[in-house]
């Protein structure tokens, strides 16, 4: 039976220095992880941006109810289904978050398991790391849904935040230039001939 995973933690994708073409050419790149066919990835923030705490907690509360409140979840700002084939290999790390039931809210959970009694629950305490690649390889099966309650930030190897450049402002429409194309041709002239005088009625 498919599993609805809840990933609640910090996360970022770290850019790595890679040689490209020659030893003197170094580029920064992000490792991509193919999303297993048949797996759905639901997120609440755009690529290369952090997740607001309000949206994260609201989504957690909807998902950890028994049964989960999926209608309430879809009303949370930023709710989106990933439509690509690969994701950055986000590095995931824990925090000391505690939910309203006194349970750790940092880790990997099963939706609807309010008190975390499922044996698959895996807490991520502060300072403990895991990766999306490991999670997909070790835990996720075809048909599963991953609810990503984490940031999707990008960072350099040194930890400096990276943002996508803002799109340029829309260009004003190009003015239309009137073309001097004759629109009336007198009958009786040779084909292709144009007369400059206006036509009379009839």
Q: What is the pLDDT of residues 140-193, one digit of tens each?
A: 999 999 999 999 988 877 777 776 555 556 665 655 554 444 444 444 545 555
Q: pTM for this one?
A: 0.77
What percentage of the chain has pLDDT greater than the value 70? 79
Q: Is the pLDDT of residue 24 over 80?
A: no
* Three-state SS at 90: coil
Higher-confidence position of 169 and 91: 91
Higher-confidence position of 174 and 11: 11
What is the domain count for the chain? 1
Identify whether 87 is part of a domain: yes
Q: Is the pLDDT of residue 38 over 70?
A: yes
* Three-state SS at 114: coil
Identify whether 94 is part of a domain: yes
What's the whole-number mean pLDDT along residues 107-122? 97
Identify whether 183 is part of a domain: no
Range of the domain at 122: 4-18+28-160
Identify whether 76 is part of a domain: yes
What percentage of the chain has pLDDT greater than the value 90? 61
Tokens of 70: 């999926």
For 144, residues 6+ apart whose C-beta sits below 8 A from its C-beta are 2, 3, 4, 5, 39, 40
Report the distance separating Cα 106 and Cα 123, nearest Å: 6
């Amino acid at each position: 039976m498919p599993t609805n995973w809840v990933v609640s933690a910090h996360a970022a994708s770290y850019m790595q220095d890679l040689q490209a073409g020659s030893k003197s050419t170094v580029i920064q790149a992000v490792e991509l992880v193919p999303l297993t066919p048949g797996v759905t990835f639901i997120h609440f923030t755009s690529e290369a941006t952090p997740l607001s705490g309000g949206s994260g907690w609201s989504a957690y509360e909807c998902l950890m109810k028994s049964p989960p409140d999926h209608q309430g979840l879809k009303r949370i700002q930023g709710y989106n289904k990933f439509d690509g084939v690969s994701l950055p290999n986000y590095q995931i790390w824990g925090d000391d978050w505690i939910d309203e039931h006194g349970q750790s809210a940092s880790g990997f959970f099963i939706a609807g398991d309010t008190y975390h009694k499922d044996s698959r629950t895996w807490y991520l305490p502060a300072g403990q790391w895991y990766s999306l690649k490991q999670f997909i390889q070790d835990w996720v099966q075809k048909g599963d849904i991953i609810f990503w309650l984490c940031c999707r930030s990008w960072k350099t190897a040194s930890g400096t935040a990276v943002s996508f450049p803002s799109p340029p402002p829309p260009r004003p429409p190009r003015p239309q230039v009137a073309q001097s194309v004759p629109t009336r041709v007198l009958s009786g002239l040779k084909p292709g001939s144009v007369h400059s005088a206006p036509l009379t009625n009839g």
